[in-house]
Structure 1
Amino acid sequence: MAPLRTLLALPVSLALLALAPASSSPTAPTTDTLLPLLVAEGGAPAAALLAHDGSDTHYAQAGRGIARADHFRAGSITKTFIATLVLQLAAEHRLSLSDTVEQHLPGLIRGAGNDGRTMTLRSLLNHTSGLNDFTLDTRGVVPLTPLQAVRITLTHPPAERGRFSYSNTDYVVLGMVVQQVTGRSYAVEAERRIIAPLGLTGTSFPGSRTSLPGPHGRAYTADGTDVTELDPRVAGAAGELVTTLADLDRFYAALLGGRLLPSRWLREMRDTRTAHGLYGMGLFPEKLSCGITVWGHNGRIIGSYVRTAATVDGRRVLTFRVNTTAIADPDLEPALLAAEFCPRTP
């Protein structure tokens, strides 16, 4: 569920040129011409996208068994929701990002050189805590309680503290902090603070429920195994979310548009300096081939890959998904984002 950060300029440019007829000058591809390639070359059974630009909405799909209203698993896009909750609590002075994990969860992080007394909430949010990723042991297929996930992590020494190292454990711990501070689970807090106020009627934290709400299609592994039924505790606060295309567009538009966080805390969320430009707090930037930078997150969980990106003000947003675990051709994602956000020439 780590962010895909493949931005190889030469392969992408070659792929775009290959889409143009040999007898004419190169024509910039559109999202509609690129989306079928996620199926034909990306190895997905089906793909869909939903884009918003002001009052304009555009939907497209490719392949069979996928629809605009489908519910699907969103994987690590969950992290943007969790980060938003933590920053809301910081804005309310109920915690500080400089608080240590030990202050909120005494004794939790101890072992193999890991020490919650020197680990801040900020370092969890931007993945510089050094905590090992528990899914490297479980491969994202073993349902766990948060405490079990942490215990697996503590069998490994930490990475270099202060260096960016994407870890699902960071956000599992943040979910525990939210519960400790509020007295309610992160799922309940997300419902009352984000989901209900924004009217995200297709979004939920399913807990241990293995089925998807209707309507939904099917989800597949790369070898075609049907994994639609899945225990979300394989990811917990790092990747449990179930949602829809429309809800993700609405959420990121509201977040980046300043509806969920005061401006100071939204700037904090987008501050990537500690992670050397790679990650903020539940968001990461991506500089496209035309020089425009978009903000968002991706999500990978068994049987589903999702990507949402938006302009920095949230006025333009795109979410696309495939109903399998990963895209076989990594150049297709940046090409699709460029087709949506880069200015088109006549």
Structure 2
Amino acid sequence: MKKTISVLFALFFCLLAPLFAQNQQAEKIMLLMEEIPVMGLSVAVVKDGELVYQEAFGWKEENKVPLSSTDIFRIASISKSFSATSIMQLVEQKKLSLEDDVSDLIGFKVRNPKFPEKVITLKMLLSHTSSMNDSEGYFTLDAINPAKNPNWKKAYNDYAPGEGYQYCNLAYNMTGTIIEKYSGERFDHYIKNHILDPLGLYGGFNVNDLDASKFANIYSFDTKTGEFTLSPAAYAPRKEEIANYVENYSTPIFSPTGGMKISAPDLARYMIMHMNYGKGEKAKIIKKKSSKIMQTPLSSNENYGLALWKTDKLIEGKMLTGHTGSAYGLYSAMFFDPQEKFGIVVMTNGCDPTYENGYNKVIKETVNILYEELIKN
């Protein structure tokens, strides 16, 4: 009788242990949200190469509509990896080379005036080593076009292309334009047709193609007043600009540098593709060689490759590959270990903007909770 009870207890424990574990990590996240102001959090965890957990906490619309894990967010700079992945597809098709001169690709002169003979390559755009900066803005190519902006020289730094690192959003809006020009498809259509649809993911760079009821409202947090303020610009439709779209020049309207809208679980499925070096759950998007190029740091200062960087500071002592994002009050993170086949996606649609060791504190602590409870344990 005692043996039967022991066996039943063991079986009961095995069946319910995962539920206890999930409840424990959910409880820790909710405690975190009580300690630090957070509007909402959407998370997804991949273990052994498979999506094993997805959950949402807090509000989609402040104090009115709870957040759901299927809600989509503007994910900010994680979007850059979609642009870099697209470039690698076009490189594989021999439509582009990473060593191509950006001047030839973009259609106007792209040269640092202090180093006029030094070619700025496509690889430099993707790795933030082009010597360009965002001081003249990045929402239009006019910022760096000598024929459009009399102050274009200010958009370059004092060091030579390839000899320094500065994160540059303009570089990725230029990258999106190059994708459009050499694929023959408008940028937002290319991403949908060649990345999202093959992987079976819902999202996109064009707000007007998506179900607005799925958007998680994004809020900025004022640390002085302790109040959240809605940021409607995060999902601005920009219909007039799109109606007057100029092919191969107006691409920044869709923000290749930060405008992807997608849910946490679908971003995790996209992450699985990079974790498997180009092979997603439903399709192979890029070759293993191309994927490894993206994940290999070119800058020793920042450990940045092509829209993906390596860090051991997010989870102390654990080398991860991925990217963060921040815009309009949103903070996001997508990081994975291609060897151990685990990864974590965290998005918040508004929180205290305090940073800790280079990462938003809410994002960092949530990532570590999920790692401790669902990966390490």
- Offset of 1:210 from its aligned partner? 11
How far 1:256 sits from its partner (Å)?
2.4
Task: Say which is worse superposed, 122-131 or 217-226, in terms of deviation.
Answer: 217-226
- Which residue number corresponds to residue 131 of structure 1? 132
Amino acid at match of 2:232: T
Q: Summarize the Cα distance change of 1:100–1:303 in structure 2 as closer, same or farther, 3 Å threshold.
A: same
The change in CA–CA distance for 1:198 and 1:344 in structure 2 (over 3 A counts) is closer
Q: Which residue of 1 aligns with 2:298?
A: 273
Partner in structure 2 of residue 219 of structure 1: 218
- Alignment RMSD: 3.1
Check the 8 A contact 1:44/1:324 in 2, yes or no. Answer: yes
Q: Is it true that 1:255 corresponds to 2:274 in the alignment? A: yes
More relative contact order in 1 or in 2 (CA 8 Å, sep 6+)?
1
Provide the C-alpha distance between the structure 2 equivalents of 1:40 and 1:149, rounded to a whole number of angstroms.
45
Q: CA deviation at 1:106?
A: 3.4
The offset of 1:245, in angstroms, is 0.9
**Unaligned 5+ residue runs, structure 2?**
1-23, 61-66, 223-227, 238-251, 280-284
Q: C-alpha separation between the residues in 1 aligned to 2:289 and 2:190?
A: 21
- Which secondary structure does the structure 1 equivalent of 2:229 belong to? coil
Of stretches 235-244 and 148-157 in structure 1, the one that deviates more from structure 2 is 148-157
| Alignment: residue pair count | 309
Which blocks of at least 5 consecutive residues in structure 1 are unaligned? 1-29
Q: Distance in 2 between matches of 1:326 and 1:296?
A: 22
Q: Which has the higher helix share?
A: 2
CA distance in 1, matches of 2:34, 2:152: 38
Query: Does 2:26 align with 1:32?
Result: yes
- The Cα offsets for residues 141-187 of structure 1, whole Å up to 9 and x where unpaired, read as xxx43445765764433252321110101101111111221222221
- Cα deviation for residue 87 of structure 1 reads 1.1
Residue aligned with 1:214, SS? helix
Match of 1:300 among 316, 326, 330: 326
Q: Secondary structure at the match of 2:204?
A: coil
Identical columns (%): 20
The change in CA–CA distance for 1:245 and 1:153 in structure 2 (over 3 A counts) is: farther
> Taking structure 1 as the reference length, what is the TM-score of the superposition?
0.78
Q: Does 1:315 align with 2:341?
A: yes
CA deviations over 1:63-109 (Å, ceiling 9, x no partner): 33322111111111110000001111112221111111012123242
The DSSP-based 3-state class of the residue aligned with 1:222 is strand
Matches within 5 A, 1:79-98: 79-98=80-99
Q: 2:37 aligns with which of 43, 48, 51?
A: 43
Would you say 1:283 and 2:308 are equivalent positions? yes
CA offsets per residue over residues 10-68 of structure 1, 9 Å max, x none? xxxxxxxxxxxxxxxxxxxx753553365334432222212122455223333333221
State the distance in 1 between where 2:55 and 2:231 align.
24
Letter in 1 for 2:231: V
